Amino acid sequence: MDIARGVVQRKVEAFQTFILHPITAQLGTSGIQYSPVVTISTTEVEVYNQLLKPDVQLALTELELGLTQRFIELTGGTTSGSLMYSWKARSEWDDPVGTLRITSYCGLSPTLAKGVASKATSEDTVSGYIAVGSIPNAPLRLVLTAKSLYASAYSGEIKNDSYVRMVGVVVPGA
């Protein structure tokens, strides 16, 4: 807890930590669950799009992510299957007057390309700490987009062990 000193005003900053799991599902026999499957073609689609809301509005000081996505090539018989995907996020919060404030999307990962051909499966984890300058507040919207580079069709989903850890100062009056 930080206390700002001053003659006229004393400000107490209470840091809060929230760990949110984007996928909540029932237990499975293997313990592994995935988000609903989205079909991916040559047009960019959102595999995942969710507003992550902690119990309070936060001015973020730290943001940590561990996001696991899985892609499966569906058509088979192709040796040149390839897709591109990326994670992005933005802040969405109500100011003290009640006006919805939305920042621009910030890329959490570069656009990644994967070679997944002939009914193969690719599962990767993107993880690390994110600079909070472009994502100043929570709640935040988390989005995974993907598209196929060839005529192959894919399915995409994210795994239930994915997490978002937010640390920040509670915004008074929000």
User: Which pLDDT value is given to residue 51?
Assistant: 93
Q: What is the pLDDT of residue 138?
A: 92
Query: What's the pLDDT score for residue 49?
Result: 94
How much is the pLDDT for 63?
Answer: 94
Pick the CATH number of 33-170 from 1.20.120, 2.60.120, 1.10.3120, 2.60.40: 2.60.120
Distances (CA, A) of 123 to 5, 55, 92, 155, 166: 50, 31, 29, 12, 24
How far is residue 74's CA from residue 53's CA, in Å, rounded to a whole number?
34
CA dihedral 129, 134, 136, 139 (to 10 degrees): -80
Q: Which portions of the chain are predicted below pLDDT 50?
A: 8
Q: What is the pLDDT of residue 156?
A: 92
